[in-house]
Structure 1
Amino acid sequence: MPILITACTKKKMGDAQVSAADIPAGPIEAVGSQWIAAISADQERTLAARLYQGGSHAESRRAAEDSGYPHLIVSAGLGLIAADAEVPNYAASVLAGEDDILAKLGDNPDASHWWRWLQGRSPFAQSLKTAILATDGPCLIALPRPYLDMIEADLLSLPEQVLDRVRLFCGAQAPAALAHLQMPYDDRLDGPDSPYRGTRSNFASRALRHFATRVLPGKEGHMVAQHTAAVQAALAGWTRPIRTSGIRKSDAELREILAAHWEAMGGRSTRMLRLLRDELGIACEQGRFAALIRDMREERNNVA
């Protein structure tokens, strides 16, 4: 039977019981040991499928429910976990932000180094290699590029005939060594003919759901070239979305808009960026937006 592997999400149900932000910086052994102790402590547990929230996880969960395939989740704080595992509510990521676990590592290891360390010590983690070897069907992996980079070495350690069963879904180009396994989804997934439209942040999960429910059935034993052709055929009649330029605003104008919506958005940068781009139609480059949010947070903290 095929299996699905998707990413954890920053947005979770309820408040985090442990956070990478609370771990003192230091070498990986020191930081990691404190993190393992924190997630291992007695505390409330929640099914992983319910813990993660947001559009990306909703698409992944729906793909698993509609296909009936086992669902595993790549977590930067827990390792590889099953969607039906009971886990603590935590805040840890390998993406920039206050819960970036990599920022705590004084010896500057990359995400793949942290992943290997975590996988070997987390009480919640299971082996990625073992999970893939345990199934004789395709392994469908939908991850943002930083998380795909994190597990790349694990995937490349698989026997060639097993690696050939992996199918990748990513909103960006996959690493060169894995690029031949990436299914050829493009922005037609967001076009007027597609019933799978959404935001760029959940592109990989939406592509996975389309493949798992519309392309793969009856083709489970096909080779990667055949699956690639099947995706291309499925998208052949779809048109691309019409792109419109967003409204331009000065930094002062953007700050005023963000301040007006700060409380309603809970001060969450992802929600406010989506508000600007998707609801208000305002153009704002990601780096510029991040700098504005950072400055506004610092000002609010100083006032508090």
Structure 2
Amino acid sequence: MPKEQRIRVEVDGQALELSNLDKVLYPSAGFTKGEVINYYTRVAPVLLPHLRGRALTRIRFPNGVGGQSFFEKNKPGGTPDWVRVETMPVPGSTKDRETIDYVVADDLPTLVWLANLAALELHTPQWRVGEEPDLMVVDLDPGAPAGLRECCAVAVLMRDRLAEDGLTAYPKTSGKKGMQLSCPIAGTQSAEEVSAYAKRIAEEVERGHSRSITSKMAKRLRPGKVFIDWSQNSAAKTTVAPYSLRAQPTPTVSTPLTWDEVEAGAARAFTSDEVLERIEEYGDLLEDLLAPGPSLPSQ
């Protein structure tokens, strides 16, 4: 077996050891671990604000996207002492008896360290550590033959309905087949209250467009429709972070969109190189998610 190649680098004052930078993690694209680390380093200025303070779930692909993967919530063995770790009860656990040592990616050294572990996908909850949810998220999941174009149409319907309640929705692709809408909220209501509101709005939109939309979980109801998944607001759920890579044949990214693109039905799977170009053009289209939003209306 070839000897593992390791190099030592310094990232913002922290010493890191990187390994096997030439290892191909996206075989169809020839995209290596070194390129993954380079992407996350370059996207860090817009990505880190969306990760900061949030318990991070990673999906790791040590042998690339064609190999076995695993979800990781607990800090891995050998976690450096400078990485922020927060020990918290598992959301939904009985009597808070179970805890997890979550990694919190607050800085560039942590992001590079995670990328070196082949943590390709980064997923966060809608709350920051010790706080109530400051985001409401709905996932738009198309059932074939529906696709991203149909998701765009539903996104516009949801945007307009949420605006009636004073909420501003921001769209992004999932980096796979669907989309998400995120709304900044005040952080004064529980996950249960946010979920209940999201469910109510999803059901309302479904009633007006039942031939193309469902708000129900049953998979048998989804073919040809867009499922508005309001359950993403559960305290136990996470959503792929904006600018996270996805484990697809090519290095696609969960990509913020403009509403002009959505209205034109022009959402598609953007690659890491395209996303870096979009950041040059647009900056962070989701920057306003970082500021507090309004409280949700009472039912």
Q: TM-score, normalised by structure 1?
A: 0.27
Q: Select the structure with the greater relative contact order (CA < 8 A; seq sep ≥ 6).
A: 2
- As a proportion of its length, which structure holds more helix? 1
- As a proportion of its length, which structure holds more strand? 2
Larger Rg: 1
Q: TM-score, normalised by structure 2?
A: 0.28
